[in-house]
Amino acid sequence: MDCIECRKAKTKKDCIECKQLIDGNYLAEKPRKKLEIRLEEINGEDFFKGQIELISPIGLALKSNVDPGEYKVKLLDDLELVISLVKSNGKPPYQGFDIISVFRGGKESNRLNKEDFEILSQSSEDIIDQLTEDLPSTTKNIIRERLKEEVEKSKLLDAFEVGDVLKYERGRLKSLSKNEISLPEEYLVEFMDNAFRDNQYKRDTIVDEKGEKAYDLHALPLGYKSGGMIAVDVTDVIKAEKENRERELQIYRDVIEAVTGGKLILINEKELEEELEREGNIIRRTVEEPKDIGKFREVIRAVLKKLNFNNQEESHIVLCVSEAITNALKHAGGGEVLIKIVENELNIIVKDYGNGIDFSDLPKATLMKDYSGSSSFSLGNGFTLMLRFIDRLLLKTDHKGTTLILEKEIS
């Protein structure tokens, strides 16, 4: 029964249950994953949203609400369709469309090929089955279960929506999913070969050549020179984590700056780079063991005498710097110290490459006297002394290390 007859009969049957909604209905499949698309008017500037409910090589049924006409739809990175609404087919919220043109890899046809149709209609289980179809029957089920376990263990159950799944066979990769990634095939093949060489599951995170996309890569050797690769686009995840961290940093920054009257300021990577780029004479020393602290005290004392600091100021500054260096040694195994004279200001920069200070420890570590409750960081009386004797402290800390800049005005 076609759509016109359904409407005449006033059937309560849901329109999408009838494959007569689209041409090629005998091959039509309901996608086993959510496929949201954007419809762009061919002869206009408007665009609309839709969701694929049925798909055949020559037709689409969408959950949409558009006027009669032709629309351009992008389904994969290099797969575009021109579709036309079949006016008599479907009732809200479903609409049937004929596929007029298919553009793929610079070529045009009037229907989806078998490979594209399978990619758009299959589920993650289908993909796993396809990855392992060439394995011996004696091991096929075992390998399939292993692959599913790896996917679950890696929290990649949604990988097939946000990334690419590739089948590897004797040095060649074939995409099995609707998304395509912007990574060089040479790198992907090498990554897969490394998994074969070590005969084990491999995982890596990589950014594409343009620095625009980040991917979580998973390589699974499944047999002799046969395997599967999952590449999950984690760009949005990393971006969200970065934004959350920046918001968190700003909250801590505002609180600490207010409590210390503007003397202790948390800075980010960009602000640190700006501070380090300020012009000025530099003395640079590395700190690798406790005896280096005594050596640096002599260096800083010599600088302070030339700058006409009095004895009391000199002792206070040396004490504060010693505390900062001691912490770098204790928690990062050392670091480096720089002395800069910038205009009318003395800058002493203590930098290490440890694990940084956990955000949850920042307020206590910087504001509480004798605090030592953190397993990763404790400065004892260090910040208390610095806040008392130094004009301003700039602190940048993350997983790449901690940098502390002690600023003292030269009178």
Output the domain CATH number for residue 24: 2.40.10
Residue 66 within any structural domain of the chain: yes
Whether residue 152 has pLDDT greater than 60: no
Q: Are residues 263 and 388 in the same domain?
A: yes
Query: What value does the mean pLDDT take over residues 137-141?
Result: 64
Which of 233, 262, 292 is a domain's end point?
233
Q: Are residues 404 and 262 in the same domain?
A: yes
Residue 65 within any structural domain of the chain: yes
Whether residue 328 has pLDDT greater than 80: yes
Residue 219 near residue 191 (C-beta atoms within 8 A): yes
CATH code, 207: 3.30.450
Which of the pair, 292 or 212, is modelled with greater confidence? 292
Domain count, the chain: 3
pLDDT-based confidence at 157, cuts 50/70/90? very low
Query: What value does the mean pLDDT take over residues 50-75?
Result: 89
Q: What CA–CA distance (Å, rounded) separates 162 from 179? A: 7
Predicted pLDDT of residue 364: 66
Predicted pLDDT of residue 84: 92
pLDDT-based confidence at 301, cuts 50/70/90? very high
Whether residue 119 has pLDDT greater than 90: no
Q: What CA–CA distance (Å, rounded) separates 332 from 251? A: 26
Q: Are residues 355 and 392 in the same domain?
A: yes
Predicted pLDDT of residue 378: 47
Residue 285 within any structural domain of the chain: yes
Q: Are residues 283 and 397 in the same domain?
A: yes
pLDDT-based confidence at 319, cuts 50/70/90? very high
Query: What value does the mean pLDDT take over residues 269-276?
Result: 90
Q: Are residues 254 and 217 in the same domain?
A: no
157: amino acid identity, one letter: L
Residue 119 within any structural domain of the chain: no
Which of the pair, 39 or 279, is modelled with greater confidence? 39
Residue 390 within any structural domain of the chain: yes
Return the bridge partners of 392, or none: 407
What are phi and psi for residue 123, nearest 5 degrees? Answer: -100, 175
Q: Are residues 246 and 190 in the same domain?
A: no
Coil, strand, or helix at residue 89? coil
Coil, strand, or helix at residue 10? coil
Whether residue 186 has pLDDT greater than 80: yes
Q: Are residues 306 and 250 in the same domain?
A: yes
Secondary element (H or E) of residue 44: none
Which of 58, 83, 113 is a domain's end point?
113
Please, which residues have CB within 8 angstroms of residue 135's CB and are 6 or more apart in sequence? Answer: 143, 222, 223, 226
Predicted pLDDT of residue 128: 64
Q: Are residues 256 and 184 in the same domain?
A: no
Q: Are residues 177 and 28 in the same domain?
A: no
Predicted pLDDT of residue 5: 60
What pTM value is reported for the model? 0.49
Q: Are residues 226 and 250 in the same domain?
A: no
Lowest-pLDDT range, 8-12, 247-251, 266-270, 357-361? 8-12
Predicted pLDDT of residue 41: 92
Whether residue 89 has pLDDT greater than 70: no
Whether residue 365 has pLDDT greater than 80: no
Whether residue 340 has pLDDT greater than 50: yes
Which of 60, 80, 113 is a domain's end point?
113
Residue 103 within any structural domain of the chain: yes
pLDDT-based confidence at 4, cuts 50/70/90? low
Whether residue 222 has pLDDT greater than 60: yes
306: amino acid identity, one letter: K
Question: What does R_g of the chain's alpha carbons equal in angstroms?
Answer: 31
Q: Identify the CA nearest to 22 among candidates 47, 70, 55.
A: 55
pLDDT-based confidence at 366, cuts 50/70/90? low
Domain extent, residue 184, equals 124-233
Strands (E), 234-279: 264-266
Whether residue 351 has pLDDT greater than 90: yes
Query: What value does the mean pLDDT take over residues 160-173?
Result: 70
Residue 118 within any structural domain of the chain: no
Proportion of the chain above pLDDT 70, given as a percent: 75
Return mean pLDDT, the chain.
79
Whether residue 90 has pLDDT greater than 50: yes
Q: Are residues 104 and 53 in the same domain?
A: yes
CATH code, 243: 3.30.565.10
Q: Are residues 357 and 298 in the same domain?
A: yes
